[in-house]
Amino acid sequence: MKIQYLGTGAAEGVPALFCNCTYCKRLRERIGRGEGGKEVRTRAQILLDGELSIDFPPDAFAHMARFGVDFSAVKYLLVTHSHMDHFYAHDFILRGYKYAHEMTAPQLTVFGNAEVCEVFAECTRREMKPEVAGTISLRKVGAFEEIAFGGWKAYSFPAHHTSREPLLYLVEKDGKRVLHLTDTGVLPEESLSFLASLQKHIDLITFDCTFLWEAADPGARHMNLAEDMRTFGRLAACGVADSTTKKVITHFSHNSAPSEEALARAQKEYGVIAAYDGLTLEI
């Protein structure tokens, strides 16, 4: 399975859109000199085998332009929650009509909770052409479901993030499994129990590392590196993760100053892979 991290930033991006903190200001200056490199981060999106996207942010166009992604080839979209940085539904009015010709995959299926379906309807009702609407189908998903589609399986379970049923996913294809843990704070016990009950070995885990080395408040809706490692330990204790499981951290915020040096330290001390926009892994 090929996993491509198209966007690895939090909602505001890195550098943040309207921010003049020391980190953002210095990074923008480096960008002006052509030196931003891996520290420049767009909003979160992951692409699996070129046909399954987890989330669809407002930076999808930028991902296409930078990495040459054929988004018309994406057949399936798993949406974690309806926040704008993870589900920018306005773009879907462009999937057909005069906006898109000779698409690789004629149909797209979007999986998400009830609010995701509501947001899709709200964002597309003014400009959606009937010809485009016919290329997209929505499927409402709740927690603790097994979803099968096109050789894939996905298992949904609750995140600790919003009050409107945010979801996380374990995705499986050809015996390989990816666990997607963002956006979320500390994993709910019911979610951990669900994963333990499946008893499926996980090959790669994507962790919410919004706070990186910063302390996270009790009950926070995101995690830091310490919480990521505790979560990995809990999963290992359940028998679904071990030393062969790749640990990838992503969804970085400018507030945690995710410099290359800070991430190199994380990799050295914890054996994690620090994602950057465009990182591609194989499992």
| Among 206, 189, 197, 191, residue whose Cα is nearest residue 238 | 197
Mean pLDDT by 10 residues, the chain (283 residues): 99 98 98 95 99 99 99 99 98 98 98 98 98 98 98 98 94 99 97 98 99 91 98 98 99 98 98 99 99
* Residue 1: half-sphere exposure toward Cβ, Cα within 13 Å: 21
* Residues paired with residue 252 on neighbouring β-strands, in sequence order: 9
pTM of the model: 0.97
* Residues paired with residue 282 on neighbouring β-strands, in sequence order: 2
Quote the pLDDT of residue 48: 99
Residue identified by tokens 């590392």 is 209
Quote the pLDDT of residue 232: 99
Quote the pLDDT of residue 67: 98
- Domains detected in the chain: 2-282 (3.60.15.10)
Task: Give the C-alpha distances (Å, rounded to integers) separating 182 from 55, 225, 228.
Answer: 10, 13, 11
**Residue 189, exposed/middle/buried by CB under 10 A (0-12, 13-18, 19+)?**
exposed
Quote the pLDDT of residue 163: 84
Tokens encoding 226: 């310490």
As a whole number of angstroms, the distance between CA 168 and CA 149 comes to: 17
> How many Cβ atoms sit within 10 Å of the Cβ of residue 272?
21
As a whole number of angstroms, the distance between CA 56 and CA 46 comes to: 9
As a whole number of angstroms, the distance between CA 196 and CA 4 comes to: 26
| Among 275, 273, 172, 176, residue whose Cα is nearest residue 232 | 273
Looking at residue 223, its amino acid is: M
Quote the pLDDT of residue 127: 97
Query: Strand 45-48 relative to strand 2-7: parallel, antiparallel, unpaired?
Result: antiparallel
Quote the pLDDT of residue 218: 82
For residue 15, is the peptide bond before it cis, meaning its omega torsion is within 30 degrees of 0? yes
Quote the pLDDT of residue 248: 99
Contacts of 69 (CB under 8 A, 6+ apart): 4, 6, 47, 50, 63
As a whole number of angstroms, the distance between CA 61 and CA 257 comes to: 26
Quote the pLDDT of residue 199: 95
**1 contacts 176 by C-beta, under 8 angstroms:** yes
Quote the pLDDT of residue 219: 86
